[in-house]
Chain A
Amino acid sequence: MKTILILLTFFVFVFFSVPASAQLKPGNAENGKRLFMFNACYQCHGTVGQGGAAGARLAQTKLTLPGFIAFVRNPPPSNMPPYRAKIMSDQELADVYALIQTFPAPLNPANIPLLKE
């Protein structure tokens, strides 16, 4: 029960909280890409946010920008390190979020001969 309450609180916080960064400028995907590489986000999440054994998929994330910022600031218990404002500002996270929006959606595997069983 305690775990459920903690998770519930966390997700409410992630999805509905509006940080002070509500006044952010629109994200710059190009700068987001620079930050994504420099801060080594790609090491776990892949260069196009495909995810894998080391990190969650980012492509087609359902997180809103405030939710994304909240998640990055305080990730749930995992190997994901928290990225605090000293490392990436809210505006910089908005830029990364803009990059994530450019990551392509999954294709239909039925249209890829190599992925037909």
Chain B
Amino acid sequence: MAKSKNSRRGFLRGAATAAGVAGLTGAPIALAQQAALKPETTGSAPEVTSNQRPGSDFMVDVIKTLGFEYVAANPGSSFRGVQESIITYGGNKSPEWLTCCHEESSAAMAHGYFKIEGKPMMIMAHGTVGLQHASMAIYNAWCDRVPVYIVLGNILDINYRRGNAEWVHSVQDAAAMVRDYIKWDDTPVTLQHFAESAVRAYKIAMTPPFEPVAIVADGTLQEEPIAEKNLRIPKLVMSAPPQGEIAAVKQAAKMLVDAENPVIVAGRVARTPKGVDLLVELAETLQAPVMDQRLRMNFPTRHPLAGRPSLTNADVILSLETQDLWSSLNSQTGLNKFGMEFHRTANGKLIDISAVELNYRSNYQDFGHYLEPALSITGDVEATLPSLIEEVKKLLTADRKRALAERGAKVMEANRKARERDRELATLGWDASPISTARLSAELWAQVKNEDWSLVSTDNFQSAWPGRLWDFTKHYQYIGGQGGAGIGYGAPAAVGAALANRKYGRLTVNIQCDGDLNYAPGVMWTAAHHRIPMLSVMHNNRAYHQERMYLQMMGNKFDRGLGHSDIGTALNDPFIDYASIAKGYGWYAEGPINDPKDLGPALARAIARVKAGQPALLDTVTQPR
């Protein structure tokens, strides 16, 4: 086998020299690190192929044309060629290599990064064990309609596998494991094939609905000298996003203008800052209340039309790429009942605008219930809103505008009262220990409101107190949650988002759930190592709280009592010292903080460290929700 491999290398080397492809990018030959290896430590002397370039250099040429800022990876032998080319040949710039301690962290960092930056991050992983680690985070990205550009290492040719590790790290079809929840993948067998598929993958990932894609970088292609002639990199030409068909948009506009009590439900509306402006314009034109599912920063939280309107009373409901709207349209049997019963409680006409059905798959069930809309428009919401707004404006007469203004005034007054009520409710448990999530949110808001801040965690676990108390206006101030409800997303997604925020000088704030942090805390080291400033305030309720409640339901359902619901769910014996963990990873940290009066000063100290460029964590012991 060794003889065969050497023979092929010699043949390819000769072919490459003859083809003269090394001049494609004009980069210097850089294989000095191979010569520097000591034979006694590696078992055999590495081959020095001077005056030639590996295929991975060309792969990097391709990758550079796609404009990635970063590539996140835990190192792996199956993509060592590309790694070496990125950091040496590519100068470790565009993309810059991010050292990760877990592939799930790599993928979730890319997830969080995209939702701030609006462009994908590349990640690399073994086609086997690395992708297995990354798969949950990729699924989250899929459910959250976020592109992650995945490059997988694999050694397809058995003659190039050395020893057990490379056999157990090899696979026939690397992307098969995640094919149900990525949009496209390919396994190129030549460098030219790699170039074409890499560019195509980027285009597919970045055409709404956004989703992850995967390209396999074959180990042999990476590591052998370039042998192909006339290699070229295709030009990336992006597609315009799919837009709702105009006749259907006109029909939707008429239904909305004629409606007496329309409600707009926003799921993933704003892909860009423009999306927020468009939704505001539509709501103000219609004087209609907006229920924001907070999967993105869609609508300013203190806008007078922002609220929690009743869908039961709505005669027209406009669903804009929502998630599980069905649960808001129907009532359903509680878990304590046997069997499943539901009935429709919201009977208004439903208009559904979404591009997601363009990308439905069969196996994973993230599409949810079939909604039975009165009008369904397949198209990207942000791309469709301009024509919808225009059609609505065309239909508005002076009389209708007056009627809508009267309706809007009532909606605004109801929302004003609801916000007042929220502030009153926030006082309940104000001085309690553990600290209430309302108090935590209020203390945090007081410290960040005069900064250029960005909250990079979902507020679902804090009874939505940030959304109820803070003034969210800009698109980067909120990025929603996991998508697939896969825990372990929070910490790495926050680091990825903080990385994107860094160059804009924003103060990144992460409310960090304790259960989530314990999945892959090594991402804290990545943040410290790459000097990514961010503030993490623990929502440390010392339990996998949601599951604890489910155990209570199960125990009560069969009259077995609740005394054991802490088994398997509580994280309290011993208490986990998150401040010490964070310090160990190179963060500034304080805690545990039990007294709410201590929180404000601690936040001020931590923010000062973040502004100086350091990640900081406060271990705040909190109420469950």
Chain A residues packing against B (C-beta within 8 Å): 3, 38-40, 42-44, 46-55, 57, 59, 75, 77-84, 86-87, 103-104, 106-109, 112-115, 117
Pick the interface stretch among B33-41, B101-109, B553-561: B553-561
A38 and B564 CA atoms in complex are apart in Å by 9
Enumerate chain A residues within 8 angstroms of B335, measured Cβ to Cβ.
Answer: 79, 81
Contact (Cβ within 8 A) A86 B552: no
Enumerate chain A residues within 8 angstroms of B445, measured Cβ to Cβ.
Answer: 114
Residue from A49, A57, A103, A107 having most chain B Cβ neighbours under 10 A? A107
Map CB proximity to A onto B251-274 as digits: 1 under 8 Å, 0 otherwise. Answer: 000000000000000000000000
Map CB proximity to A onto B540-569 as digits: 1 under 8 Å, 0 otherwise. Answer: 000101001100110111010111011000
Name the residue of chain B whose CB is nearest to the CB of A104: B428
Q: List 22 A-B contacts (CB under 8 A).
A: A40-B562, A42-B624, A43-B549, A46-B428, A46-B436, A48-B432, A50-B429, A50-B623, A59-B428, A75-B334, A81-B336, A84-B559, A86-B559, A87-B561, A87-B562, A106-B427, A109-B424, A112-B427, A112-B430, A114-B443, A114-B445, A117-B423
Enumerate chain A residues within 8 angstroms of B566, measured Cβ to Cβ.
Answer: 40
Contact (Cβ within 8 A) B427 A109: yes
A42 and B555 CA atoms in complex are apart in Å by 16
Is B437's CB within 8 Å of the partner chain A? yes
- From A50, A57, A79, A83, give the contact of B432 (CB < 8 A): A50
Q: Is the interface of A mostly helix, strand, loop or mixed?
A: loop
A114, chain B: closest CB distance, angstroms: 4
B61, chain A: closest CB distance, angstroms: 50
A25, chain B: closest CB distance, angstroms: 23
The 5 closest A-B CB pairs, nearest first, are A81-B556, A52-B463, A50-B428, A107-B427, A50-B429
Chain B residues packing against A (C-beta within 8 Å): 331-337, 343, 420, 423-430, 432, 434, 436-438, 442-443, 445-446, 460, 463-464, 469, 543, 545, 548-549, 552-553, 555-557, 559, 561-563, 565-566, 623-625
List 19 additional A-B contacts (Cβ < 8 Å) besides A52-B625, A59-B428. Answer: A38-B562, A42-B624, A43-B565, A46-B624, A48-B429, A48-B432, A49-B428, A50-B436, A54-B624, A77-B332, A77-B334, A79-B334, A81-B335, A81-B557, A82-B336, A104-B428, A115-B423, A115-B427, A115-B469
B417, chain A: closest CB distance, angstroms: 13
Contact (Cβ within 8 A) A47 B623: yes
Name the residue of chain A whose CB is nearest to the CB of B471: A117
- From A43, A112, A114, give the contact of B545 (CB < 8 A): A43
A1, chain B: closest CB distance, angstroms: 12
A42 and B562 CA atoms in complex are apart in Å by 12
B212, chain A: closest CB distance, angstroms: 30
Enumerate chain B residues within 8 angstroms of A38, measured Cβ to Cβ.
Answer: 562-563
Name the residue of chain B whose CB is nearest to the CB of A2: B343
Residue from A49, A79, A86, A108 having most chain B Cβ neighbours under 10 A? A79
Contact of A80 with B563 at beta-carbon distance under 8 Å, contacts A43-B552, A47-B434 already known: no
B337, chain A: closest CB distance, angstroms: 7
Contact (Cβ within 8 A) A106 B425: yes
Enumerate chain B residues within 8 angstroms of A50, measured Cβ to Cβ.
Answer: 425, 428-429, 432, 436, 438, 623
Contact of A109 with B549 at beta-carbon distance under 8 Å, contacts A46-B436, A50-B432 already known: no
Number of A-B contacts (CB under 8 A): 131
Enumerate chain B residues within 8 angstroms of A43, measured Cβ to Cβ.
Answer: 543, 545, 548-549, 552, 565, 624
Contact (Cβ within 8 A) B426 A82: no
- From B424, B425, B430, B556, give the contact of A82 (CB < 8 A): B556
A109 and B427 CA atoms in complex are apart in Å by 7
Name the residue of chain A whose CB is nearest to the CB of B557: A81
B222, chain A: closest CB distance, angstroms: 49
Contact of A44 with B625 at beta-carbon distance under 8 Å, contacts A38-B563, A79-B549, A112-B430 already known: yes
A3 and B341 CA atoms in complex are apart in Å by 13
A48 and B435 CA atoms in complex are apart in Å by 11
Contact (Cβ within 8 A) A47 B565: no
Enumerate chain B residues within 8 angstroms of A83, measured Cβ to Cβ.
Answer: 556
Enumerate chain B residues within 8 angstroms of A103, measured Cβ to Cβ.
Answer: 428
Contact of A57 with B552 at beta-carbon distance under 8 Å, contacts A75-B336, A81-B557 already known: no
Contact (Cβ within 8 A) A115 B426: yes
Enumerate chain B residues within 8 angstroms of A107, measured Cβ to Cβ.
Answer: 424, 427, 430
Contact (Cβ within 8 A) B623 A80: no
Contact of A47 with B429 at beta-carbon distance under 8 Å, contacts A54-B549, A54-B625, A81-B553 already known: yes
Contact of A57 with B427 at beta-carbon distance under 8 Å, contacts A47-B623, A77-B333 already known: no
A84 and B560 CA atoms in complex are apart in Å by 10
A55 and B332 CA atoms in complex are apart in Å by 17
A107 and B460 CA atoms in complex are apart in Å by 24
A103, chain B: closest CB distance, angstroms: 8
B150, chain A: closest CB distance, angstroms: 34
Contact (Cβ within 8 A) A46 B429: yes
B156, chain A: closest CB distance, angstroms: 49
Enumerate chain A residues within 8 angstroms of B427, measured Cβ to Cβ.
Answer: 106-109, 112, 115
Name the residue of chain A whose CB is nearest to the CB of B432: A48
A46 and B434 CA atoms in complex are apart in Å by 10
Enumerate chain B residues within 8 angstroms of A77, measured Cβ to Cβ.
Answer: 331-334, 337
A93 and B51 CA atoms in complex are apart in Å by 83
